[in-house]
Structure 1
């Protein structure tokens, strides 16, 4: 049997991470995986999360099976956080089940779509999160793309709306709710309004991927587009991740949310999601969900968490503005302006795949070949080094005689 297995494609992000691990240069810089790092280069456990863990350990609750929907207190907390808790609001016509992180929510909801309407077409952005297409296609769905970036690296309003004008009734349109991965470029509020009108008029279903809320413009602002869509469209799917904004990367904590035209329309949804979960992983892990529920249900812990989240957002903003400022000082004003407009954990550098390879080989700086870097993983003392490397690569192709000489900066060892 095994000799018939053809060589499968490698995951590009983990392949790059392995290459970074094998690089012996002390100045190497890993900007590949999307994890938040503090000024020491570490990925900290949030104080509110740690306190919730201590309280849960002291309580010593049973580790008995929770059930196919996971932690129900967590599910209620997710609905309230994402959709609000106002009487008569969208949360009252929604159902949620806990999943194995955001990727598990994407797959569970994709399976629901396929079981409901096999062969459905799902539209994703171009470029998109690297795992969107594989997850959707593995569930048996057809994938088409809509435009996202214009020639200058900004948001392509005309291209996106023109492409999505081709979406038919009962198609599904996958939208990242904020802090677009990989570009860091988001639609304006006006574009989100146009998308809501288009969805209602054409009859396609929005499928919102929420993985970075709280790390762009702030928690409430980052959820505004999702909440607006939920109030206006009859049906909607939402995949929620707690990996980034709670720092629960390895605890794999997420939630799948389905909105119907009415509460009655949801009568079979939770069972369908449970059945899909049963065949994929049976039930999700308890720990991360219990932590999130403990944080969100306690006023003090919730306030502490939001304060920490805001501090993380501020650090990310400072990294991005610092890099844009360094690039501008080196003479790359246009590239700096594009970079400064981006949001969230990721930024798309103005470099071609060949230039990204040059950045890696010449300066030990690791990002994806598409140009994505994790701006949230950039140590502040390496910002100038990164800017100089980008400048040198740009200048090589521009043929500028004044290309700066870049001296390696020692990696931070704090």
Structure 2
């Protein structure tokens, strides 16, 4: 049996290429022949976003595209195929005292290609940014099998259009990510995470302003509501303070600088009105990082939402979400908020009654709210992407250039957002 025939779609509609050229040949044949919709899949940690997949879609899995192509540790870059598990990459980097400082949920399952396509990130985005800041080279396959590359394997490569940033967060709707080159950071030798309770949102807002000018340089600033705090305590098995609002700050570096920053931040938290402050260090922070990163996925929550707005309005949104019964986690320094609706949200109508006011608040705060996951059958009743924005026509134009027939990741990109607006009878601008 040939290698190509092993990779042909099986009875489940899944195709598993062993090489990038093989993937390109299959995509080209599909574009000229059956023209079936194509859904790239990696670790399947982000497939809940968007509308349900077309039943006729072929899932193209990257599980066999898992080679480390090049790792010149002295250059602090690594090139890997899209199917490499994020945790496996981090373990390989750790041996050289390096890391990719981006928190990817369920890293033991998530692939780097899927993480790039979904722009996965977590608490460390405040100190280190997101994958858009670390992908310096990328190779992709178009829906009709053409292979192309952008960027390169050196940090100072700036030639051509920055297609790397275009592909990050595209949801696999523009092209099939096959290989990425990432720039790296040194692995810290020490870390600490502090948690402080606050009784009012106004107090937290004032403190966040002060932290932005602190002499310390936290890599994460997290704000949790009571429900999220209880879940974090249970998942991490760490004793955390209990109160209406829980603010977390984290620092990393060598032991001396970490202890100095802990001292500075502890004084600032207490002076800012904290009613209780506790610190975890080094090994005790590992489970906290993991629980904070994975919390956004929502577990068994009927609906999960994500809001992005001005950081100065984060606390107002968090307080409103808590009042609505939402379990909420905010990357408070960045204005990114994850929320999970209560378990007694029994139908889409109830969910929309909670989401609607929060979506309006997000818009007034210079941002937006999207539904990341919801129960099967609720998609049509919920406005997944919310009202149209001014950049949607441009996004639609880009999509048509890459995938004019809409065969790649149907239901996950801008065309699905526009279609839902049309179905709802809203103005598409």
TM range, normalised to the smaller chain?
under 0.3
Which is bigger in relative contact order (C-alpha 8 A, separation at least 6)?
Answer: 1
More strand by share: 2
More helix by share: 1
